Structure 1
């Protein structure tokens, strides 16, 4: 059994500087102020419209990332349906007894059990028993979609996520809040911080749980191409 930490993969061009310029151009149609637009754009214009609640104008642009998280968290993620698209690793078709998976399952470590050694031991033992039973079910002729019935919420899943900018704002407002699941905050907060850095005019106003320990943030990896991961 492989134990890993969650990861975030962001394509190099996911948050291009041109996004804000294009959004401003689209938004100015509403106000017929195209003549006031400069070649480099005006971030303050877009910022002011978003702050006043005119968020429909930012639905025209989107961003795609890939998350490596546990399946329990992914079930919360896919509840975001408006302006969203997903492609997720399928436990129906992936048989983890194959060589390309190392003939074992991969699980996401629950960081919040680090200081609870007895609870961590119980989690680890449970995952090991599940892996053994899953492999035995496959060996006895069960299909992957049948054997998956015993797999844990901690199972690693890879999911490609595309949201338009309005839905990213909605996602961050909900999933970076202190009330969100800790493993959701683990990926959502560092991703929000990246979005704030790249597109402050769209995301700098969104608050997050500042008490969440930065040492537990998921690793964020910038990649030239998701296909090369």
Structure 2
């Protein structure tokens, strides 16, 4: 092996760049009644028009929330990205490629705070922590499986097999990285489905790992667009 395998439970999200503020919502909305004069909103304090933002959110006038952009760098297991890529409208993705680079042996193992056992039936199930024995078993089996699969990957590469073929031996617990770009409207739709929150009108039951991604994106978005974020929460966390 060229690299020593490592195991981690943390998922990272970094805001790389953005063009996003509450003001973007206001000039986009006011063009319908003010035309070119809507540009005056660019230099004004958006706090004075937070009622308009709440109205747009409440009555689901969604297009004014699309005139902004946020780009995130996400590092997470491949299985998270397979769920993430179901969100297509208003999102752009570029992910690390196993065709063009040798993939590093960094693998996901659940942390101590990750519930392991599912109880109940679909629609009414819940997750519980599980026993110390189950937690030890999960770590042992996953680490052994990851090591075997990466050894097989390296064996094929050493024999001259193309990266795009050899990568078939690797598991979905392998860490990957991607850039994900969205606007506030598409992010709100994502958060409505991929986070749990008592303020949500429609309950959601996301997988824990993708919820961690959503929470970290939401923290950055709330900092950039606090009035829009507040209106989202006040109106049931439903995307307009």
2:206 is the alignment partner of 1:201: no
2:22 aligned with 1:3: no
| Count of residues in correspondence between the two structures | 198
Render the CA deviation track for 1:138-184: whole Å, top value 9, x for unaligned.
11111110011011111111110001221011011111135111110
Q: What TM-score do you get using the length of structure 2 for normalisation?
A: 0.74
Matched, 1:67 2:69: no
User: Structure 2: where are the runs of 5+ without partners?
Assistant: 117-128, 197-203
| In structure 2, C-alpha distance between the alignment counterparts of 1:3 and 1:67, rounded to whole Å | 17
Using the size of structure 1 for normalisation, the TM-score is 0.78
Residues in 2 aligned to 1:183 and 1:194: alpha-carbon distance in whole angstroms: 18
Q: Deviations over 1:18-59 (max 9, x none)?
A: x22132011111233857957223233223212210011111
Which structure is larger by alpha-carbon Rg, 1 or 2? Answer: 2
**Is this contact kept in 2: 1:60–1:164, CA < 8 A?**
yes
2:138 alignment partner in structure 1: 119
Q: Which residue of 1 aligns with 2:51?
A: 44
Provide the aligned C-alpha RMSD in A: 2.3
Find 1:21's aligned residue among 20, 23, 33.
23
Residues 43-192 of structure 1 mapped to structure 2, 5 A cutoff: 43-96=50-103, 101=104, 105-111=105-111, 112=114, 116-177=135-196, 178-192=204-218
User: 2:74 touches 2:177 (CA, 8 Å); kept in 1?
Assistant: yes
